[in-house]
Structure 1
């Protein structure tokens, strides 16, 4: 076991490197000494073949990338990176321990005779080899600064293929005291039925990567922090969420949830799932949800709610078609749309059309 200390000015993070065998990890998990949280990464995004090939790699003696854990105040370890690898092996060793179906090996290319096998049917030699195979674990000790833990998780995962930007926000927010409460608010509002209905054109593959939760966060950022937008959506949303998590800005969760629900009740009532998408030449809604359209409509309904709430749904829809079809809106949503002037312009265009300040 080795200890290391890394300094960043006045911040310090202490880590411990230790090799666990997969058998030890299974026992620690059963004893509740290591927590595998599916909130951090969905437990099984990997296919059966991917999981099986990991088992095959272990049998072949190939090196397995390290995992990262955080030590809580009570000494319990939480797995924050490497969940796919760890849970795949634990599923093979003892599927009941993680409440998953038994893993039957398939798609193994190099050791083909293990295809169709389970842990109980492979030889004793192979069972022992898998259980005794070590994996390097870096433990972030509880003495580490919360911000450093947060940043470390982001940096471990940014650029990886397994986690989307919003999944990283979901995980990293849980590094901070109170962060889980904020993220659970995003999750709850993402399930609010009028909101879920209005964004139903969002592809299911994107919902699986928490894009619906990102849209809730984007709503809050649009309402409270448009002035901080600098052209990079991910950095803007990261910065806004961090300002909340680290107490750098005021955020009244009850008031913001009420505003969100009020706004999406109105949007759903007036526009249904046609609110955030393009219209074809026949005036029919077509295609998937467009984030730039979402931004403009959400802000229009927040800032001009009193002007819009008594307008008929047919009139609102007609005005929205005209707004989205206007040259000004197309210019503000085309190439180079992620600038503050164009963000303000598309919001302004939609507000003017919806409030009949420009004839539809």
Structure 2
């Protein structure tokens, strides 16, 4: 297939449209649940007050705002693909934005703009302000509110008849320049695919036993690394060895597996949730924060930081041999886990396939095999 044929084929798979509407119309769609802004995104994308104030200033000055990209669902609802924070900022300023529990996300008084210095302390409604209205707070006049509500926004719409993959690819491309970790972007895709899966995965990553065993840093947690390695465990423990052959990019592998979990009716969240909780509870009881730290045979201690190779081998090994470990007495299980974890670190294949410079295709399939072998009943 040459370039022109590819262009024609792919262009027929993606259908787009454009629409312009007043801010008040967009707010009405939001209130009627016809426009999904996804409260789950707001922690990831949240702008600082300075950025929010500049957007409001742009509206009053008539400075064009970049288009909002939405994906039309088959039920007619528009999913915001790019522009979550712009819309959230506008709706928050108008004291209409709600969090995931349906509670108003009250705004703060604006800061002075670059051009409109008098924006300092301005609010939409003095009775709906974070921490209550204080001195120096000024409410917009009715005329100013009308002007703001009538300001127009441009929407670029990916129609529901487009290829199912289109809106997710669009999201990744539009947000590739933002300060998102791969997992934060993947979380957003999960929310658009199935919010219940996103909540379920976050719930697993927040389990105390898991948090204790992986012991990741605050910065890693802020970048959703805990959620990523929880997904990594699920992806490896439910995979066949053939699924890992030729693996080139871990991110693509995790995203593909996540999409498969969401669309597969046979994916048993109840069983996988129980297996996840038990595996990391066993590790917490046996080794605690040392579960995935480097083992030093000469001194018989675990030291250093969380090691992803150990995580892949140890957690996957336990998960793949789940029935055997589940039937052991708890005291015996803890001692045996300690023994097997030490065996992982002394295994020749593990040593050969880990360390700096080892790409995913040279590591992950072998960690799968090492874990499956060392944690087997034999």
Structure 2 length normalisation: TM-score?
0.75
Structure 2 partner of 1:170: 187
CA contact (8 A) 2:68 2:156 kept: yes
Contact kept, 8 Å, 1:69 with 1:139, in 2: the verdict is yes
How far residue 255 of structure 1 moved from its aligned partner, in angstroms, is 3.3
Contact 1:228-1:236 at 8 Å conserved across structures: no
2:211 corresponds to 1:196: yes
User: 2:108 is paired with a residue of what secondary structure?
Assistant: coil
Change (3 A) 1:46 1:203: farther
Q: Partner of 2:235 in structure 1?
A: 221
Partner in structure 1 of residue 128 of structure 2: none
Which one of 322, 333, 338 corresponds to residue 354 of structure 2? 333
Structure 2: distance between partners of 1:342 and 1:241 = 20
Per-residue CA distance 1:314-350 (angstroms, 9 max, x = gap) = 6754764675488865553322222434334455666
8 A contact 1:271–1:317 mirrored in 2: yes
2:83 paired with 1:82: yes
Determine helix, strand or coil for the equivalent of 1:16.
strand
SS at match of 1:42: helix
**What's the counterpart of residue 302 of structure 1?**
319
Q: Residue in 2 aligned with 1:70?
A: 71
Deviation at 1:92, TM superposition (A): 0.9
In 2, distance between residues paired with 1:123 and 1:29?
Answer: 22
Aligned equivalent of 2:170: 152
Is the 1:219–1:295 Cα contact (8 Å) retained in structure 2?
yes
Which of residues 221, 233, 242 is equivalent to 2:250?
233
Distance 1:216 1:263, change over 3 A: same
Counterparts of 1:89-100 in structure 2, within 5 Å, are 89-95=90-96, 99-100=104-105
**2:121 pairs with one of 80, 96, 116:** 116
Tell me the distance in 2 between the aligned counterparts of 1:83 and 1:55: 15
When normalised by structure 1's length, the TM-score is 0.78
Conserved in 1, the CA contact under 8 Å of 2:97 and 2:105?
yes
Of residues 202, 211, 225, the one that matches 1:187 is 202
Number of aligned residue pairs: give it. Answer: 346
Once superposed, what is the RMSD of the aligned Cα atoms?
3.7
Give 1:23 deviation, angstroms. 2.5
SS in structure 1 of the partner of residue 40 of structure 2? coil
Asked if the contact 1:70–1:78 (Cα under 8 Å) also holds between the matched residues in 2, the reply is yes
For 1:21 and 1:53, the matched residues in 2 are separated by 19
* Residue segments in structure 2 that go unaligned for 5+ positions in a row: 1-6, 126-137
**Structure 1 portions without partners, runs of 5+:** 1-5
- What CA distance in whole angstroms lies between the structure 1 residues aligned with 2:153 and 2:371? 55
Q: Secondary structure at the match of 2:13?
A: strand
Q: Which moved more, 1:341-350 or 1:60-69?
A: 341-350
Aligned residue in 2 for 1:283 = 301
Distance 1:338 1:298 in 2: 20
Q: Deviations over 1:257-311 (max 9, x none)?
A: 3332332221122122221234688935443x33222112212322455479564
- Seen in structure 2, the aligned counterparts of structure 1 residues 55 and 327 have a Cα distance that, compared at 3 Å, is farther
Q: 1:60 to 1:290 in 2, by over 3 A?
A: farther
Q: Does residue 1:256 correspond to 2:277, yes or no?
A: no
Question: CA, structure 1 residues 89+47, in 2 after alignment: closer, same or farther (shift >3 Å)?
Answer: same
1:36 corresponds to which residue?
Answer: 37
For the residues of structure 2 that align with 1:59 and 1:331, how far apart are their CA atoms? Answer: 62
Change (3 A) 1:166 1:315: same
Deviations 1:29-56 (A, max 9, x none): 2333323221345376222222222223
The 3-state SS of whatever aligns with 2:301 is coil
Q: 1:221 to 1:312 in 2, by over 3 A?
A: closer
1:3 is aligned to none
Q: Does 1:138 find its partner at 2:156?
A: yes
1:104-163: CA deviation from partner (whole Å, max 9, x where unpaired)? 112644433322222352554654443333221112333334333343333333x13154
CA contact (8 A) 2:318 2:375 kept: no
Shift of 1:97: 5.9
Correspondence for 1:51: 52
User: What is the deviation of 1:67?
Assistant: 1.1
Q: Return the offset for 1:238.
A: 1.6
